Amino acid sequence: QIQLVQSGAEVKKPGSSVKVSCKASGGTFSNYGISWVRQAPGQGLEWMGGIIPIFGTVNYAQKFQGRVTITADESATTAYMELSSLRPEDTAVFYCARVYRNWFEPWGQGILITVSS
């Protein structure tokens, strides 16, 4: 059974960057995609982007293009998401999720990123 474990909560200043991780265990890491999904407080889910390590392909949602960078370290079976130029409205829970064909399962536990001066 594939499991995704994410790094811990962070507090960041406006204008700074944050890099969070998502470690996979079980299964073959390179064979599937990992997506990142944002959920602002009390709001819905928003797809940010994803990576397929075996192909080295990365896609970003237009809304986040230029501010988000998604990478993967196959040897560490870990995916990363870096978000730059943080603003208070970026305060949210960020989830990673495995993409199996065209749906998301399982999901990581989520990381709360708080952007505040």
Partner 1 sequence: QSALTQPASVSGSPGQSITISCTGTRRDIGTYNLVSWYQQHPGKAPKVMIYEGDQRPSGVSNRFSGSKSGNTASLTISGLQAEDEADYYCCSYTGDITPFVFGTGTKVTVL
Question: Where do contacts with partner 1 occur on this chain (CB under 8 A)?
Answer: 35, 37, 44-47, 50, 59, 61-62, 95, 97, 101-110
Of the pair 16, 43, the CB lying nearest partner 1 is at 43
We find the least distance from the C-beta atom of residue 107 to partner 1, in angstroms, to be: 4
Exposure string for 59-85, b = 16+ CB within 10 A, e = fewer? ebeeebeebbbbebeeeebbbbbebee
We find the least distance from the C-beta atom of residue 37 to partner 1, in angstroms, to be: 8
Distance CA 18, CA 91 (A): 11
We find the least distance from the C-beta atom of residue 110 to partner 1, in angstroms, to be: 6
